[in-house]
Amino acid sequence: MKFNNRNVFISNKATIGKNVRIGDDTTIYDNVIIDDDSIISNNCIIGEPLSDYYDDTNYENPITRIGKSSLIRSHNILYAGSTFGDNFSTGHRVTIREYSNFGVHCRIGTISDIQGYSSFGNYCWLHSNVHVGQKSTLGDFVFLYPYVVLTNDPTPPSNICIGPTIGDYSQVAVFSVILPGVKIGRHCLVGAGSTVAKDVEDYQLVLGMPAKNIKDVREIKSRESGEAQYPWPFRFDRGMPWENSGYDKWKDEQ
Amino acid sequence: MKFNNRNVFISNKATIGKNVRIGDDTTIYDNVIIDDDSIISNNCIIGEPLSDYYDDTNYENPITRIGKSSLIRSHNILYAGSTFGDNFSTGHRVTIREYSNFGVHCRIGTISDIQGYSSFGNYCWLHSNVHVGQKSTLGDFVFLYPYVVLTNDPTPPSNICIGPTIGDYSQVAVFSVILPGVKIGRHCLVGAGSTVAKDVEDYQLVLGMPAKNIKDVREIKSRESGEAQYPWPFRFDRGMPWENSGYDKWKDEQ
Amino acid sequence: MKFNNRNVFISNKATIGKNVRIGDDTTIYDNVIIDDDSIISNNCIIGEPLSDYYDDTNYENPITRIGKSSLIRSHNILYAGSTFGDNFSTGHRVTIREYSNFGVHCRIGTISDIQGYSSFGNYCWLHSNVHVGQKSTLGDFVFLYPYVVLTNDPTPPSNICIGPTIGDYSQVAVFSVILPGVKIGRHCLVGAGSTVAKDVEDYQLVLGMPAKNIKDVREIKSRESGEAQYPWPFRFDRGMPWENSGYDKWKDEQ
C-alpha cells in the first residue's frame, strides 16, 4: 500500500541498495547511501541539508549512511552527515540532526529529537519523545524511556556544550533529566522523574530531584517472584544478541 | 482551501460515508471506514499498516472505523485496527497506534502519542503531548493535561505490560506520570508534576513525587469565589452532554 | 535540493515578497504575506485556517505575516492570524496557532507547540518541545529550554484562562512548569524541573517543586572561573543585538 512511487523524489546523487523499498511522498537528498534490504517508509526526508545550505551556493551535502535491514517509519527527518548502523529502526516523526552516529540495532521512538553531534553504541533503545542534546555519548544497550532529556549547557545561555555520558546497560526511566556533563556508569537505573546532577557509580539506583543514591540495583527484587531484577540482561532478551544463547554464554563469547 | 483533491490517495478498499471531506496530501489505506459528515484534514495517514505489513506478503490491514461528525486535523497518523466513536476530534500530528478504542466525543491534542491496545471511555479529553503506554484503561470524562505520561513496565526493560486505570471524571494535571498498574479512582485530581506510584481512592487530590494524599477534592475552594471547585461537572459544561440541562438533571436521566 | 516547485500550492490571495524561496510539498493558504528574503522550507503549512473554516461557508482567513529574512524549517504549521517579526526562525514540526504575535529575531525549536493568543517580545528563544498555553506574555530576550510548559487553567477543567507573564532576560530551564497567572520578573532563572506556583521577583533563582527562592542570580559563580554568570547578557552575545558592541554599550544606546 505504501510503495506506489507516488510523489517520491530521489536525488541522482543518492545510492540505493538492493531490495530497498521507498514509500510515497518521501524525499532522499544528495549523498545518501541506503544499504540493502532497508525500508524507508512514506513522508520521510533523508539527508536533510544542514543550515549552511540555505546561504552557501557551493554547499555540498555531507554523506548520510543507513545500514542494511533498517526500517525508518513515516515522517522521519534524518539530517545529512549522520550514520546509522545495520538494523536501525525508528517510530514516526523522529528528527535526527547532523553528525549523530549510531551502532547496530538501535531503535528510536516516535517524536524523539536527537540534536546531533552525538554518539550511540549498539542496541541503544530510545522510546517516545526522548530529547538528546548535542555532544551526548551513550554506550551499548542503553535504554532511555519516554520524555527523558539529556542537556548540555550548565549556565544557560552560554557557549559551553558538555553533554552527558551514559555507560553500557544503563536505564533511564520516564521524565528524567540528565544535567550537563554528568557521567552515569554501567548497569545503573535512574528512577522516574529524576534530575541527575551528579555522577552515578556503576550499578546504582538513583532517584529524586536532585537524584540521590537509593541502593545497589542488584538489591532490587521483583514484588511478585522475589527474584533479582538487575542486572537486567539475565532476565530480558527480546531483540538482544543473547536472545537464543542466554546472557552468560553470549558474554563469555565476546 | 484544503479540499482540492491534490495528491490525495484513497484505497479502493476504503469506505467513505456521505458528506465526508478529505484534505490534500492525505492517504487513506485499505479497510478504513469513515462515517458520514466527518472531516479528515490535509497530510493525514488513516489506517497506517501494522508492523507485519513490512514482511508479510499476505498482510491484510485490519478494519479502522472513524465515527460520524469527526474532525481529524492535519498530519495525524491513525493506525489500522483502531476504532473512534462519533464526534472524535484531534489536534495536529497525533499518532494513535493499533487497537485503540475510543468512545464518543473524545478529543486528542497536538503531538499526543497513543501507543495502542488501550481503551478510552466517552468524552475523554487529552491535551497536547500526552503519552499513553499500551494497555491503559480510561473511564468516561477523563481529562489528561499536557505532557502527562501513562507507563506500563514496572522493572524496565521487561516483557511485563500493565497499564494504569483511570476512573470516570478524574483529572491528571500537566507533567504527571502514572506508574504501571496504578489504579486511580473516580473524581480524582492529580496535581501538576506528580509521580503516582500507588492507587488513588475516589475523590482524592494527590500531589508530589511520589504523590501523596493531600485532601478530598470536595474541600478545594476557589480563591476568588470561595466556592467548591470539585466535583467539576457541577461548574463546567462546555462540550459536555449536560451542557444545556445541568449535571444533576443529566445524571438523573442516565 | 529543496526548491524544485514540486507539489507546492500557493493561494492566489497570498503575497510573496522578493527573493522568497518556498520548498517542495509546502502549502501557503489565503491572506498570507511573506516579506522579502525569507525561506519557507519544505512540507510546511502557512496560514492554517482556524476552526471556523470547517463549518462557515463565508469563512475568510485572517492575515498572517512573516517578516523579512525569516527561516521556517520543514513541517511547520503556522496558523492564520499570527504575526512573526523579521528574522523569525524555527526548527522542524513547530505548530503555532492563531493570534500569536512575535517580535523580531525570535527562534522556536523543533516540535514546540504554541497554542495561540499569546505575545512574545524580541529575541525570544524557545528550544525544542516547549508548550505555551493561550494568553501567555513573554518580554524580550526570554529563553525557554526544552520541555518547558506554560499553563493557564488554575482549576481544571474550567473556562478561566490566565497565562503566565515572563519578564525580560529571564531563563526557564528544562522541564519546568509555570502555573497559571504566575508573574516572573526580569533576569530570573528557573532551575530544571521546577513547578513555579508563586510570583518570582527580579533577579531570583528559584528551584524545586514547588519552586522556592534559592538566591539572587548575581551570586551564581562559574565553577571553573569563579566569575558571576548572571545577568547573562554580560557574558553571552551570540545572535544578540550587542554581539559586536558589548551589552553595556548597547544598553546605553537604547
The model's pLDDT over C174-204, given as tens digits with 9 standing for 90+, comes to: 999 999 999 999 999 999 999 999 999 999 9
Interface test with C, best of A10, A155, A177 (most C CBs within 10 A): A155
Instruction: For residue A224, name the pLDDT band (cuts at 50, 70, 90).
Output: confident
| pLDDT for B208 | 95
Instruction: For residue A222, name the pLDDT band (cuts at 50, 70, 90).
Output: confident
Give backbone dihedrals phi and psi of A67, rounded to 5 degrees, phi first.
Answer: -70, 175
Residue B250's CB: how many other CB atoms inside 10 A? 16
Chain A contact residues (CB < 8 Å to C): 7, 9, 11, 25, 27, 29-30, 45, 48-49, 53-54, 61, 75, 77, 93, 95, 111, 113, 115, 129, 131, 133, 147, 149, 151, 154-159, 175, 177, 179, 195, 209
Q: How far is CA B128 from CA A11, B29, B139, C151, C168, in A?
A: 36, 26, 19, 11, 27
| pLDDT for B222 | 87
Give the C-alpha separation, C230 to C57, whole Å: 54
| pLDDT for B1 | 86
Query: What tens digit of pLDDT does each residue of C1-24 get?
Result: 899 999 999 999 999 999 999 999
Chain C contact residues (CB < 8 Å to A): 1-2, 4, 6-7, 24-25, 39, 42-43, 71, 74-75, 91-93, 110-111, 125, 128-129, 143, 145-147, 171, 173-175, 192-193, 208-209, 220, 222-223, 229-230, 232, 235-236, 238
Which percentage of chain C shows pLDDT scores above 90? Answer: 97
Q: Which of A39, A71, A174 sits opposite B151 (nearest CB)?
A: A174
Nearest residue on chain A to C193, alpha-carbon basis: A195
Under an 8 A CB cutoff, do A1 and B158 touch?
no
| pLDDT for C144 | 98
Q: Which of A2, A4, A209 sits opposite B209 (nearest CB)?
A: A209
Read off the C-alpha cell for A86.
Answer: 545495520
Residues of C in contact with A177 (CB under 8 A): 174-175, 192-193
Residues of B in contact with C149 (CB under 8 A): 146-147, 174-175
Under an 8 A CB cutoff, do B157 and A236 touch?
yes
Q: Which of B54, B149, B158 sits opposite A174 (nearest CB)?
A: B149
Query: What tens digit of pLDDT does each residue of C242-253 get?
Result: 998 999 999 999
Across residues A30-57, what is the average pLDDT?
Answer: 97
Which percentage of chain A shows pLDDT scores above 90? Answer: 97
| pLDDT for C208 | 95
| pLDDT for A33 | 98
| pLDDT for B181 | 97
Residues of B in contact with C111 (CB under 8 A): 111
Contact A64, A32 (CB under 8 A): yes
What's the start-to-end Cα distance of chain B, in Å?
42
| pLDDT for C224 | 79
Chain B contact residues (CB < 8 Å to C): 1-2, 4, 6-7, 24-25, 39, 42-43, 71, 74-75, 91-93, 110-111, 125, 128-129, 143, 145-147, 171, 173-175, 192-193, 208-209, 220, 222-223, 229-230, 232, 235-236, 238
- Of C117, C161, C125, whose CA–CA distance to C141 is shortest? C125
- Of A172, A236, A187, whose CA–CA distance to B161 is shortest? A236
Contact A60, A43 (CB under 8 A): no
| pLDDT for B62 | 98
Read off the C-alpha cell for C160.
Answer: 478561566
Sign of the CA dihedral C242, C245, C251, C254?
Answer: negative
Under an 8 A CB cutoff, do A110 and B113 touch?
yes
Nearest Cα of chain C lies from the Cα of B236 at a distance, in angstroms, of: 6
Nearest Cα of chain C lies from the Cα of B42 at a distance, in angstroms, of: 10
Which percentage of chain A shows pLDDT scores above 70? Answer: 100
Q: Is the pLDDT of residue A189 over 90?
A: yes
Element holding C206 (H helix, E strand): strand C204-208
Q: Which of C29, C95, C209 sits opposite B110 (nearest CB)?
A: C95
Interface confidence (ipTM) of the complex: 0.97
- Of B199, B139, B202, whose CA–CA distance to B168 is shortest? B139
> Residue type at A221?
K
Contact A210, A178 (CB under 8 A): no
Across residues C148-173, what is the average pLDDT?
Answer: 96
Give the C-alpha separation, B172 to A191, whole Å: 20
Contact B68, B36 (CB under 8 A): yes
Give the C-alpha separation, B217 to B202, whole Å: 9
Give the C-alpha separation, A162 to C204, whole Å: 25
Residues of A in contact with C1 (CB under 8 A): 11, 29-30, 49, 53, 61
Give backbone dihedrals phi and psi of A95, rounded to 5 degrees, phi first.
Answer: -115, 120
Residue C195's CB: how many other CB atoms inside 10 A? 25
**With a threshold of 0.95, does the pTM exceed it?**
yes
Give the C-alpha separation, A109 to A92, whole Å: 7
Chain B: partners with 3+ C-beta pairs within 8 Å: A, C
> Residue type at A215?
K
Give backbone dihedrals phi and psi of C142, rounded to 5 degrees, phi first.
Answer: -90, 130
Nearest Cα of chain B lies from the Cα of C244 at a distance, in angstroms, of: 39
Give the C-alpha separation, B47 to A121, whole Å: 34
| pLDDT for C68 | 98
Contact C205, C184 (CB under 8 A): no
Residues of B in contact with A42 (CB under 8 A): 27, 45
| pLDDT for A178 | 98
Nearest Cα of chain C lies from the Cα of A79 at a distance, in angstroms, of: 12
CA angle C161–C162–C168, rounded 5-degree value: 145
Q: According to the 3-state scheme, what is the secondary structure of C92-152?
A: CCCEECCCEEECCCCEECCCCEECCCEEECCCCEECCCCEECCCCEECCCCEECCCCEECC
| pLDDT for B146 | 98
CA contacts within 13 A on the Cβ side of B233: 22
Residues of C in contact with A159 (CB under 8 A): 236, 238
Q: Which residue has the cell 473516580?
A: B186
Q: Which of C1, C75, C174 sits opposite A29 (nearest CB)?
A: C1
Give the C-alpha separation, B207 to A57, whole Å: 56
> Residue type at B233?
P
Under an 8 A CB cutoff, do C131 and B147 touch?
yes
| pLDDT for C73 | 98
Q: Give pLDDT < 50 ranges for chain B.
A: none
Give the C-alpha separation, A177 to C95, whole Å: 24
Distant-in-sequence, close-in-space partners of C52: CB < 8 Å, separation ≥ 6: C59
Query: What tens digit of pLDDT does each residue of C87-111 get?
Result: 999 999 999 999 999 999 999 999 9
Indicate the burial class of A158 (C-beta count within 10 angstroms; 0-12, 13-18, 19 or more). middle
